[in-house]
Structure 1
Amino acid sequence: MTATPPGGLTPDEFRQTLGRFASGVTVITATDGTQRRGMTANAFVSVSLTPPLILVSVDVRAHMHALLAEENVTHFGVNVLSSTQRHLSEHFAGKLGPEEQVPWFEHEGLPLLGGAVAQLVCRRHQAIAAGDHTLYLGFVEYARYTDDDPLVYFRGQYHELG
């Protein structure tokens, strides 16, 4: 077990505690113009209605972090996965399955995932260093949604509503 930092929790204690917060599952998508990438993220939150801002937290070691830090990458997508898309969450979390099973489509050149409960197209608004992650604020320029059920993550496991 990792030693407790002065005045704080160990990473394992923190992870176990926050695992009690049920969250939806998203895949963040972006492209550098030649290669499209996706990353599973449940650290996603609405920030503001006016202007429409969201926030996603990205580990500094992630490939997505390097991509979003590129100056020519100005937009990213947020795909809220449906209850039938667990395989996509696992695929973009590093348990790679067949790429042909990824339902890619593009909106004005930005890769998004078909079948998601919601898709947002965001212009990178601000990047804020926060420990071992960077918080990316996105200005939402486009959104679409369905009434399908979302994929839910709780205590380290996938769940469905109902």
Structure 2
Amino acid sequence: MTSPAAREGIPPHEFRQTLGRFASGVTVITATDGEQRRGMTASAFVSVSLTPPLILVSVDHRAHMHALLSAETVTQFGVSILSSSQRHLSDHFAGRLGPEEEVPWLTHEGLPLIGGSVAQLVCRKQQAIPAGDHTLYLGLVEYARYTDDDPLLYFRGQYHELG
């Protein structure tokens, strides 16, 4: 028989500390409601399928981006994979706001993306999957562009670079 604690899983602090040992890239998820462009730093990003080309991002229910992506009128979102020189943008979109004029916005068919990033994806929202205190947004990649620059990495609560 399983104990009640085991059924609920490990405590949130322990979970965060453990998963902090997984190095990840840093992305900025972007979308617009037609009037305002929004961005959110996310390391919970994963490739799901090559055929069709699907990705998944995880968004906290408390995030402004969650309300935007939940709107039926928002059908697309962007993913910009940050370069090693874009730490300030990760901080900016994580709520430690810097000057908005320092954000190198660019658009692809009206969707905001981050210029200078290692890669940019434009995704059609396919499915929203409730998952605890987050929603998983599955996106079909409709456009992609990339460079050979080095990515920004996140490991044990700190930024890192390759090499």
How many corresponding residue pairs?
158
> What are the residue-to-residue correspondences of 1:25-36 with 2, within 5 Å?
25-36=26-37
Q: What percent of counterpart residues are identical?
A: 83
Query: Unaligned 5+ residue runs, structure 2?
Result: none
Partner of 1:122: 123
Describe the superposition over 1:26-78 as per-residue Cα deviations: whole angstroms up to 9, x where unpaired.
00000000000000000000000000000000000100000000111000000
CA-atom RMSD in angstroms: 0.6
> What are the residue-to-residue correspondences of 1:127-142 with 2, within 5 Å?
127-142=128-143
Letter matched to residue 149 of structure 1: D
**1:106 has 2:104 as partner:** no
**1:23 has 2:24 as partner:** yes
TM-score normalised to the size of structure 1?
A: 0.97
Question: Aligned partners of 1:111, 1:150: CA distance in 2, in Å?
Answer: 20
Describe the superposition over 1:112-149 as per-residue Cα deviations: whole angstroms up to 9, x where unpaired.
00000000000000000000000000000000000000
Partner of 1:76: 77
Partner of 2:94: 93
Letter matched to residue 111 of structure 1: P
**1:39 has 2:40 as partner:** yes
Point out 4+ residue stretches in structure 1 off by more than 4 angstroms. Answer: none
Letter matched to residue 155 of structure 1: R
TM-score normalised to the size of structure 2?
A: 0.96
Describe the superposition over 1:65-97 as per-residue Cα deviations: whole angstroms up to 9, x where unpaired.
000001110000000000000000000000000
Partner of 2:144: 143
Letter matched to residue 152 of structure 2: L
